[in-house]
């Protein structure tokens, strides 16, 4: 097998495309031939030692992937060789093969495209958990999505529309804003060229958005919080811009607002039944055509460094997927 090996987590440049022995699955594991693996922002952080999870070295990055089971461990009952699965195991996906815990593998319905399957779990689960579980977003409410053209952002557009909310998508370029409109956003704001607060006032008749979904952090966060509606919910999803905002708490008081943390991975661990029910609903929505990952590009696995470069330069709409 071949895989991108991280022996020293000092950044993307240090990754090496290496030949390795193909591992045998342990009793509760399966060996998967990876067909597709998508990039998520945490993949970029983990190879720089900037992510909360720090795997033992060396490791193969690639949190999320889909492929075909080639061998199953002695205790594995629910999967067989030849079965297509999607898996989010945190590492291992950026290679030709991976050994994964069987319990983390989601058997796929027949004909589920493997590129979509590899680009599904992290973004849709995060955005569903954030908008529906944590913010209780309802039909008729308005949600502001920051970084709306990114991975979790594009999933959030579709999920917010699926529950009947009005979506204001905010992004850094006109091309990204146009993509958000195509994905179903009702309104768009280019936060590089337009004043976020003025535009939000215009679009919400001075009321502000009921929910703010923020995977970006940085400077834009304070303007978004200042604009939130009475009893609004501000979802802290991530800090793609780098700096973790330090916001004046009086803004929360003045709006009777809630600052709500979102940590989907921990939710999945602590509330596995709730997470499974949520994934079930997402798969039904996919099969009904309500949601579908927006794939910016599929690239050969060997071009991972180029893909990481594009993600780091904010040059991706939706998801990049590496394929074998």
Ligand X SMILES: NC(=O)c1ccc[n+]([C@@H]2O[C@H](COP(=O)([O-])OP(=O)(O)OC[C@H]3O[C@@H](n4cnc5c(N)ncnc54)[C@H](OP(=O)(O)O)[C@@H]3O)[C@@H](O)[C@H]2O)c1
**At its nearest, how many Å lie between ligand X and the CB of residue 208?**
20
Of 6 and 179, the one with the shorter C-beta distance to ligand X is 179
Closest by Cα among 80, 188, 193, 210 to 143: 210
Q: Which residue is listed with tokens 């978004």?
A: 224
Cα separation, 150 vs 317, whole angstroms: 6
Of 9 and 150, the one with the shorter C-beta distance to ligand X is 150
Tell me the C-alpha to C-alpha distance, in Å, between residue 142 and each of 29, 145, 223, 235.
44, 10, 17, 14
Asked if 321 and 299 touch (Cβ cutoff 8 Å), the reply is yes
Cα separation, 56 vs 210, whole angstroms: 42
Cα 146 off chain centre by: 14
Find the farthest-apart pair of alpha carbons in the chain and give their distance in angstroms, rounded: 62
Two tokens, residue 93: 């996906």
Closest by Cα among 198, 176, 206, 205 to 188: 176
**At its nearest, how many Å lie between ligand X and the CB of residue 232?**
19
Cα separation, 204 vs 209, whole angstroms: 7
**At its nearest, how many Å lie between ligand X and the CB of residue 71?**
30
**At its nearest, how many Å lie between ligand X and the CB of residue 206?**
25
**At its nearest, how many Å lie between ligand X and the CB of residue 119?**
10
* Residue 15 burial (10 A CB sphere; 0-12, 13-18, 19+): buried
Cα separation, 305 vs 310, whole angstroms: 9
Asked if 213 and 131 touch (Cβ cutoff 8 Å), the reply is yes
**At its nearest, how many Å lie between ligand X and the CB of residue 126?**
4
Of 20 and 263, the one with the shorter C-beta distance to ligand X is 263
Chain residue whose CB lies nearest ligand X:
150
Of 25 and 215, the one with the shorter C-beta distance to ligand X is 215
Of 15 and 145, the one with the shorter C-beta distance to ligand X is 145
**At its nearest, how many Å lie between ligand X and the CB of residue 205?**
25
* Interacting residue ranges for ligand X, rule: CB under 6 A: 40-42, 122, 126, 147, 149-153, 171-172, 176, 215-216, 237-242, 262-265, 311, 314, 316
State the angle between helix axes of 196-203 and 220-227 in degrees (0 to 180), rounded to the nearest 10: 30
């Amino acid at each position: 097998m071949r895989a991108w090996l991280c022996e020293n987590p000092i950044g993307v440049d240090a990754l090496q495309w290496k030949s390795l022995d193909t591992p045998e699955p342990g009793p509760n594991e399966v060996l998967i031939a990876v067909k597709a693996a998508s990039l998520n922002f945490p993949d970029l952080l983990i190879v720089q030692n900037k992510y909360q999870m720090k795997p033992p070295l060396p490791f193969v990055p690639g949190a999320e992937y889909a492929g075909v089971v080639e061998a199953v461990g002695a205790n594995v009952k629910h999967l067989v060789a030849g079965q297509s699965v999607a898996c989010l195991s945190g590492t291992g996906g950026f290679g030709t093969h991976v050994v994964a815990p069987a319990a983390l593998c989601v058997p796929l319905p027949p004909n589920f495209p493997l590129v979509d399957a590899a680009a599904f779990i992290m973004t849709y689960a995060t955005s569903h958990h954030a908008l529906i579980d944590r913010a209780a977003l309802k039909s008729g409410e308005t949600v502001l999505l920051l970084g709306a053209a990114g991975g979790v952002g594009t999933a959030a557009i579709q999920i917010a529309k699926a529950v009947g909310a009005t979506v204001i998508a905010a992004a850094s370029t006109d091309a990204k804003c146009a993509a958000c409109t195509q994905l179903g956003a009702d309104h768009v704001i280019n936060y590089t060229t337009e004043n976020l607060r003025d535009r939000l006032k215009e679009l919400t008749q001075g009321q502000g958005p009921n929910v703010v979904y923020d995977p970006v952090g940085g400077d834009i966060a304070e303007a978004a919080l200042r604009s939130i509606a009475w009893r609004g919910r501000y979802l802290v999803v991530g800090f793609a811009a780098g700096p973790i905002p330090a916001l004046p708490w009086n803004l929360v008081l003045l709006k009777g607002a809630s600052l709500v943390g979102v940590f989907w991975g921990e939710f999945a661990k602590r509330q596995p039944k709730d997470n499974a029910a949520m994934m079930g609903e997402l798969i039904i929505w996919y099969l009904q055509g309500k949601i579908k990952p927006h794939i910016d590009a599929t690239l050969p696995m060997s071009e991972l460094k180029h893909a990481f470069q594009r993600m780091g330069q904010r040059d991706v709409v939706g998801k990049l997927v590496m394929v074998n």
